[in-house]
């Protein structure tokens, strides 16, 4: 056996740094979180070469006291907690005391900081944890940290980094999350000398969504606000027309912290289930505030994962509230038949809007950022000021590069403006070089447009469409392609997919039967034999009473084999064995939330295979009966798989197509 030895402190520090500092985006995350914990209202992040060679984070927070600067770079040194009990009450973004020490262990770090009470700031420089300089310097209130040559002393780690462009994209995504988490903080992100995006810090979350994702997303946002004992959720849900092929547009912030949570994602998607097709995911931006006693944030050094005290309860709460919010909205899409020229103009307009998006640096966004001091100008100003400080205090020993002193650029300018202001005027918290007023007007105009539209749609489809009088006034015109039905109502044409409509009606009828326990069973001869794993057998026994209520008769058949002797009538002949195996696979997912409901919905979805198919002729009486049943449902707009059952076309659009309206 090899001899057991104690590792030296340098090796220990580099191993610890590997858990916290995985790539340049990890450095930016830790430094920006520290800035926000320090009360900053303006944060500027600048990177070069994807953050591999240069990262600078400047804030106008409270700063660090001179005697505390060295201590801040010790391992497990923090001002956020005092004991283990504080871990369950912490609301700060950082609390482990590992960030600065881990960053300093694998890079060259410079820090400039000043508190409000002190007359001068501190310049502190480290190279691989070795102190190179500690001196006084003229600086504005706040903190600037510069990180150079990340992983310069751990080349093995450095070779696993991706290209500068890829690493830069990770930081860009991170900064977008930071901006969405704190609308009240003004963020500016610069990459290779260009401003990629900036926010005003006025607290308007919708404005930030506009800046990052553009007008088309903002137009489809549904305000979401719910409150229950111990939990409050606010934000936006995207309409079902805004779908993605992955979960990258599901944003969750718990007590201001951006997290990734399979539990919250599944709860959100369960609420959208009736509105989205399979393998499609919604756009959602939710800020969740809850008692700190109900969560555990001390799961991983990255703090991207947290544990919830009542996972099934939180899942059910989110699912129900999302479903309720979507249920209040009209979900029938309008059909438009724009001609080729109109479509081309619309595409060109969309392309122009995309070019104006803050994701791409344009001349317009550069011009918008002009009020912010340019790096060269501020550098000259700060160097000049540093020279005057040297003349006044020749023994101060200022040994700072011009690039370093320029780090305080945005905050320095703010401090100078405050110095020449009348004493009664408060110091501005952050520079405002953004087109806030113009953007605000655009959002107000657009918001007014959607508000009027929503009111009209709510009246049409909730108060008129679903009433008995409305159903009686429909005029069914006929069937086309043996698949779709056309009906007339007031000044609209309705197009109904007969398979999706029948599937929805059967689905809801089955769910009602299952919930009321009025399911008929069909005996199987011979029985179906299931060979299950130990985990599957445990789940089957745990939920045996629910399976019995749903019409299954299942008994042990020796070992891990089980005999299925009866199934619900509606499932008979529809791959009963595969269906049961699929249910057990779903129950294996953690947490086992809402198992009875999951079983019932799976059964109904499978049994809907008996719905009338396309290319099948139906009589007018059959269609009238089906349409009446459909429109009496709580959500008649989508089939169980998320496809629309009804789409509409207005008389106005038809007249435009025939050039009656120009």
pLDDT of 108 > 90? The answer is yes
Q: Which long-range contacts (CB under 8 A, 24 or more apart) does 414-420 make?
A: 414/42, 414/60, 414/140, 415/140, 415/141
Q: Average pLDDT in the 584-605 region?
A: 63
Higher pLDDT, 388 or 61: 61
Higher pLDDT, 425 or 508: 508
Burial label for 214, CB within 10 Å (0-12, 13-18, 19+), is middle
Q: Give the torsion sign (CA, 374, 379, 380, 381).
A: positive
Instruction: Determine phi and psi for 130, rounding to 5 degrees.
Output: -95, 125
Instruction: Determine phi and psi for 551, rounding to 5 degrees.
Output: 105, 10
In the block, residue with structure tokens 């020749």: 394
- Beta bridge partner(s), residue 531: 561
pLDDT over 70 percentage in the chain: 69
Burial label for 347, CB within 10 Å (0-12, 13-18, 19+), is exposed
pLDDT confidence bin for 81, thresholds 50/70/90: low
pLDDT confidence of residue 74? 84
Of 336, 435, 393, 441, the C-alpha closest to 137 is 393
Q: Average pLDDT in the 285-309 region?
A: 80
* Cβ count near 198 (within 10 Å): 25
Q: Tell me: the pLDDT tens digits for 518-533?
A: 778 888 888 888 888 8
Cα–Cα distance, 244 to 206 (Å, whole number): 20
pLDDT confidence of residue 624? 85
pLDDT over 90 percentage in the chain: 27
Instruction: Determine phi and psi for 427, rounding to 5 degrees.
Output: -70, 130
Q: Average pLDDT in the 388-402 region?
A: 40
Q: Average pLDDT in the 146-151 region?
A: 93
Cα–Cα distance, 503 to 521 (Å, whole number): 21
pLDDT confidence of residue 86? 60
pLDDT of 397 > 80? The answer is no
Of 220, 216, 336, 342, the C-alpha closest to 648 is 336
Cα–Cα distance, 326 to 68 (Å, whole number): 51
- Of 240-254, 533-547, 587-601, which gets the smallest average pLDDT? 587-601
Q: Which residues contact 300 (CB under 8 A, 6 or more apart)?
A: none
- Domain boundaries of the chain, sorted by first residue: 9-196, 214-328, 465-661
Q: How much is the mean pLDDT over the chain?
A: 76
pLDDT confidence of residue 377? 40
Q: Mean pLDDT: which of 11-15, 62-66, 350-354, 467-471 is highest?
A: 62-66
Asked if the peptide bond before residue 526 counts as cis, ω within 30 degrees of 0, the response is yes
Q: Average pLDDT in the 368-384 region?
A: 40
- The per-residue DSSP string of 557-622 comes to -STTEEEEEEEEGGGTTS-HHHHHHHHHHHHTSSS-TTHHHHHHHHHHHHHGGGSPPSS----HHH
pLDDT confidence bin for 179, thresholds 50/70/90: very high
Asked if the peptide bond before residue 97 counts as cis, ω within 30 degrees of 0, the response is no
pLDDT confidence of residue 216? 85
Eight-state DSSP code of residue 85: G
Sequence-ordered strand ranges (E) for 239-321: 243-244, 250-254, 257-259, 281-282, 284-290, 295-296, 307-308
Q: Average pLDDT in the 609-633 region?
A: 83
Torsion from C-alpha of 522, 523, 528, 529, nearest 10 degrees: 130
pLDDT confidence bin for 265, thresholds 50/70/90: very high
pLDDT confidence of residue 522? 86
pLDDT confidence of residue 35? 93
pLDDT confidence bin for 145, thresholds 50/70/90: very high
Q: Give the torsion sign (CA, 500, 503, 504, 505).
A: positive
Cα–Cα distance, 525 to 566 (Å, whole number): 9
Higher pLDDT, 165 or 460: 165
Higher pLDDT, 430 or 483: 483
Q: Which two tokens stand for residue 616?
A: 């099948």
Q: Average pLDDT in the 379-404 region?
A: 41
pLDDT confidence bin for 370, thresholds 50/70/90: very low
Instruction: Determine phi and psi for 133, rounding to 5 degrees.
Output: -160, 140
Q: Tell me: the pLDDT tens digits for 47-69?
A: 999 999 999 999 999 999 999 99
Contact (Cβ atoms closer than 8 angstroms) between residue 87 and residue 81: yes
Q: Average pLDDT in the 392-416 region?
A: 42
- The per-residue DSSP string of 95-125 comes to -SS-HHHHHHHTSEEEEEEE-SS-SSEEEEE
Q: Tell me: the pLDDT tens digits for 477-505?
A: 889 998 999 988 888 888 999 988 888 88
Of 241, 305, 248, 244, the C-alpha closest to 275 is 241
pLDDT confidence bin for 424, thresholds 50/70/90: very low
Superfamily of chain region 465-661: MutL, C-terminal domain, dimerisation subdomain (3.30.1540.20)
Cα–Cα distance, 109 to 9 (Å, whole number): 19
Rg (CA), the chain: 31
pLDDT confidence bin for 345, thresholds 50/70/90: low
pLDDT confidence bin for 620, thresholds 50/70/90: confident
9-196 CATH choice from 3.30.300.160, 3.40.50.300, 3.50.50.60, 3.30.565.10 = 3.30.565.10
- Of 156-165, 201-210, 325-334, which gets the smallest average pLDDT? 325-334
Which CATH number does 214-328 carry?
A: 3.30.230.10
Higher pLDDT, 546 or 335: 546
Cα separations in angstroms, 568 against 46, 520, 600, 651? 63, 6, 11, 46
Cα separations in angstroms, 235 against 225, 246, 255, 424, 444? 7, 20, 13, 37, 18
Cα–Cα distance, 450 to 222 (Å, whole number): 10
Q: Mean pLDDT: which of 110-114, 539-543, 647-651 is highest?
A: 110-114
């Amino acid at each position: 056996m090899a001899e057991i030895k104690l590792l030296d402190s340098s090796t220990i520090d580099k191993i610890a740094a590997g858990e916290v500092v995985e790539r340049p985006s990890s450095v930016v995350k830790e430094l920006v979180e520290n800035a926000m914990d320090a009360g900053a209202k303006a944060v500027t992040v600048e990177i070069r070469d994807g953050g591999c060679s240069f990262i600078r984070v400047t804030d106008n927070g409270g700063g660090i006291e001179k005697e505390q600067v060295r201590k801040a770079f010790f391992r497990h040194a923090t001002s956020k907690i005092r004991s283990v009990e504080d871990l369950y009450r912490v609301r700060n973004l950082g609390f482990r005391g590992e960030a600065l020490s881990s960053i300093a262990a694998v890079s060259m770090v410079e820090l400039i900081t000043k508190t409000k009470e002190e007359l001068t700031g501190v310049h502190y420089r480290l190279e691989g944890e070795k102190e190179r300089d500690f001196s006084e310097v003229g600086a504005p209130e706040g903190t600037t940290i510069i990180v150079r040559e990340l992983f310069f002393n751990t080349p093995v780690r450095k070779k696993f980094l991706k290209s500068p462009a890829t690493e830069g994209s990770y930081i860009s995504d991170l900064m977008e999350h930071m901006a969405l988490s704190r609308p009240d903080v003004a963020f500016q992100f610069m990459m290779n000398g260009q401003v990629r995006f900036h926010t005003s810090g006025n607290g308007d979350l919708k404005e930030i969504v506009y800046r990052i994702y553009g007008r088309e997303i903002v137009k489809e946002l549904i305000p979401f606000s719910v409150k229950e004992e111990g939990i409050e959720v606010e934000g936006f849900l995207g309409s079902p027309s805004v779908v993605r092929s992955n979960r990258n547009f599901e944003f969750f912030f718990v007590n201001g912290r951006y997290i990734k949570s399979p539990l919250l994602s599944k709860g959100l998607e369960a609420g959208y289930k009736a509105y989205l097709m399979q393998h499609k995911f919604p756009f959602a931006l939710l800020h969740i505030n809850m008692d700190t006693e109900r969560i555990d944030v001390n799961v991983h050094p990255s703090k991207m994962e947290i544990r919830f005290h009542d996972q099934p309860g939180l899942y059910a709460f989110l699912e129900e509230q999302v479903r309720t919010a979507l249920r209040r909205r009209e979900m029938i899409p309008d059909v438009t038949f724009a001609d080729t020229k109109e479509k081309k103009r619309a595409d060109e307009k969309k392309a122009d809007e995309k070019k104006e998006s803050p994701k791409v640096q344009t001349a317009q966004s550069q011009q918008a950022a002009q009020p912010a001091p340019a790096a060269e100008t501020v550098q000259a100003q700060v160097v000049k000021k540093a020279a005057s400080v040297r003349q006044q205090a020749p023994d101060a020993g200022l040994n700072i590069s011009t690039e370093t002193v320029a780090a305080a650029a945005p905050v320095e300018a703010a401090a100078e403006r405050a110095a020449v202001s009348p004493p009664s005027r408060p110091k501005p918290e952050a520079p405002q070089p953004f087109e806030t007023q113009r953007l605000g007007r655009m959002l107000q105009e657009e918001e007014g447009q959607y508000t009027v539209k929503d009111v009209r749609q709510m009246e049409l489809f909730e108060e008129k469409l679903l009433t008995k009088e409305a159903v009686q006034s429909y005029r069914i015109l006929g069937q086309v392609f043996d698949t779709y039905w056309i009906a007339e109502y007031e000044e609209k044409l309705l197009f109904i997919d007969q398979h999706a409509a029948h599937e929805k009606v059967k689905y809801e009828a089955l769910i009602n039967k299952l919930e009321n326990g009025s399911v008929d069973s069909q005996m199987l001869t011979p029985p179906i034999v299931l060979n299950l794993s130990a985990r599957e057998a445990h789940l089957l026994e745990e939920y045996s009473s629910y399976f019995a209520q749903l019409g299954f008769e299942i008994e042990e058949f020796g070992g891990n084999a089980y005999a299925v002797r009866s199934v619900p009538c509606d499932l008979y002949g529809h791959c009963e064995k595969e269906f049961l195996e699929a249910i057990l696979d779903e129950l294996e997912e953690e947490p086992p939330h809402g198992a009875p409901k999951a079983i019932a919905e799976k059964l109904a979805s499978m049994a809907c295979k008996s719905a009338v198919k396309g290319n099948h002729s139906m009589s007018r009486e059959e269609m009238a009966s089906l349409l009446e049943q459909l429109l009496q449902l709580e959500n008649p707009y989508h089939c169980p798989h998320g496809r629309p059952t009804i789409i509409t076309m207005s008389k106005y659009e038809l007249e435009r197509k025939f050039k009656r309206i120009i």
